[in-house]
Structure 1
Amino acid sequence: MTKRILVVDDSATMRELLMQYLRSGDYMVSGAENGVQALEILKTEQYDYIITDLLMPDMDGFALIRAISELDWDPGIILMTQQDERSLAAARELALAYSVNLLGTLAKPIDKDVLLNMLTEVAETRPKGRKSTETVLAETEFMRGLMTDGLSPVFQPKVDLRTRTVAGAEVFARWRSPSGGTLGAGAVVKAAREIGHMDVLTYRMLELAMEQQGKWRREGQEIALAVNVSSENLRKPDFADVVTSLAEQYEVEPKFIRLEVTESDLEVDTRVPLEVLSRLHVRGFGLALDDFGTGFASLMRLQTIPFDELVIDRLFLARAQENKVARTILETAVELAHKLELTCTCEGVETAEHLAMIKDLGADIAQGYFLGKPMSASEFLIWMEDARDGVLKVPGLND
């Protein structure tokens, strides 16, 4: 049966050229000029493969990856860009995090033979039709893996743009299945939500993060770690005591743990979360409002809850170079953070242009694949030492 392919690229010339290449390989081909148009097409039509550029207006390839992960079928994805290898590496990691079927990445200009060979030689790694996360992680497997070695933390560096030092790292989840496969943070969180155990996942990630932090401290390394906290945990009045107990167990100072809370986790009844977060604040734990700008209650949260860090949603940075409104929101958010005496962190720094922009706007902390990917504890320590010694040139740190 002839395979169907959707080509997504804002350049009409490049799009038509790729479609000609593919038609010569006997594929049925359609085109879209950006992610928004592609999603409209995907609402009514299914495709075997989607070939998409990363840098596009309105909705770029990174946002499209997230949207594809929510489809009820599992198309093969090929990513392409004129940007550097870091951008492709970031896209590969994002595809892993969202558990999409990534076939490969290509640098522009696209070689016709390379493209066609990739499509004909790719092995079918998964059956048609997206498996639900319940199939990938049944509840018994999930709970067993949490308590053994199924779950492991990875650490993405955070760079202080003012002092040009490593500010610490954010902790993400990785899942290793007995068959040798790997699930990224997005897939793990989705599975935990569907099974109904987000609170258990958060607790285990906190425990793993503090255990590693305690080891580093005994080795003479004081590394601040940011860990995401779910709404399920914030609705439990004893959560502050649980966090405090873990810190005492692993001999971790509260000031080296920052708990990141998203706006959406605070949109219902804030009474218990306010109590829990206030208790954590007075005990010395850091609090960050994550994904700032994605909801409508941001300013009220900043007024009522003692946050000390504002984490600006990555979408504003991704769009700020070409979208005046997004840049204005980004600039205003940085200014707001400083007026409220909060540390301002910008996530999603994927290019030199992103880094230059947030430096110009006065952001305090930068985080993203342009600076460093999520890595294991041993890899992070090597990365940090190499960066400090100048062996590894890290933009914003020792460039």
Structure 2
Amino acid sequence: MLGALRDQPADKILTLMQTFAQDPRADKIDLGVGVYRDAAGATPIMRAVKEAERQWWEEETTKSYLGLVGDPGFADAMTELVLGDAVGREQVAAAGTPGGTGAVRQAFELIRMANPRARVHVPDPTWPNHLSILAHLGIEAVPYRYFYDATGGVDADGMLTDLACVPRGDVVLLHGCCHNPTGADLNPAEWRAVVDTLNRTGATPMIDIAYQGFGDGLDADAAGARMIAGRCAETLIAASCSKNFGIYRERTGILLAVAQESRLRAVAQDNLAHLNRQNYSFPPDHGARLVTKVLGDAMLRAEWQAELERMRRSMLGLRAQLAEELRRLSGSDRFGFVAQHRGMFTLLGLSPAQVARLREEHGVYMLGDSRINVAGLSERTVPVLARAVVEVSG
């Protein structure tokens, strides 16, 4: 049987990480992998999370199973964090998942169960794993216009034109904030236009929100998701705790299914439990427990929010520094969009050949589409990157 298997395509990010690790240059720069790093290049454990972990270590009395959808307290805390008061808790079905990726996978599985013929319309570009999971599940992915290369911003007119053609029964995938890989986000007016378009066509929205708090703040970053959940008949939301709580290896995520009809909410909850049972039975609890403790304790929550805000402002500062350095060295504002983007990622608009030169000649590692992780920079390395980019881009 094993002899019938075929080699799978190498993951581009993991391949880049391996190549970077083998590079002997001491001044090399890793802008590929999507993790937050501080000025020293470390990915620290947040202080509030560390304290929650200490408290839970003293309190925990059993490692027995929880329910199929995980701890109800985690579901309540995450529903409040993501949705605020946009909808009532009684309208939300929820299931804990192994990370945000697990939530995305379960959402796609739920879509396929509900409508085997459904297509998922994805922004062009989108996180590559969206496309990989859809292909693995045999669900057709249909791109819609999103990013305008010439300006480094959202192609709102093209996006709305494409979304207006999505039929009822299909799903529209949206990034809640800090779009990966471009960093270009919808503004409030564009979110409203998306809601109006979805309500006209009857298409179902699905929101992947993996970076809440990294863009313009916790509430501002969730504004689009809250608008859609409050105004559309049904909404799927895949949320991750990896970035904003810094618990990458704990694999902590949640899938929310919002339904205006309470009857449909109950059906969705039953199906989320069924899907968890088929895939991994019970979701991981440790990371979920830490998140619940942080969000449920006023002092821990305040400390977490303060640290998250410092991380957000650090990335904004690095963006501003990089945009200014590129402007100074290039004598133009062609990279001004870097300061306007939000979150960890930005597409620099370089060709694969230019990206290869950055790697080979300057030891600067990024994906072939020129996506960089801004959080991989520091005040010291920003000028190094800017000089290299200007050199290879002419």
Give the TM-score, by structure 2 length: 0.29
Give the TM-score, by structure 1 length: 0.29
The structure in which a higher percent of residues are helix is: 2
The higher-RCO structure (CA 8 Å, 6+ apart) is 2
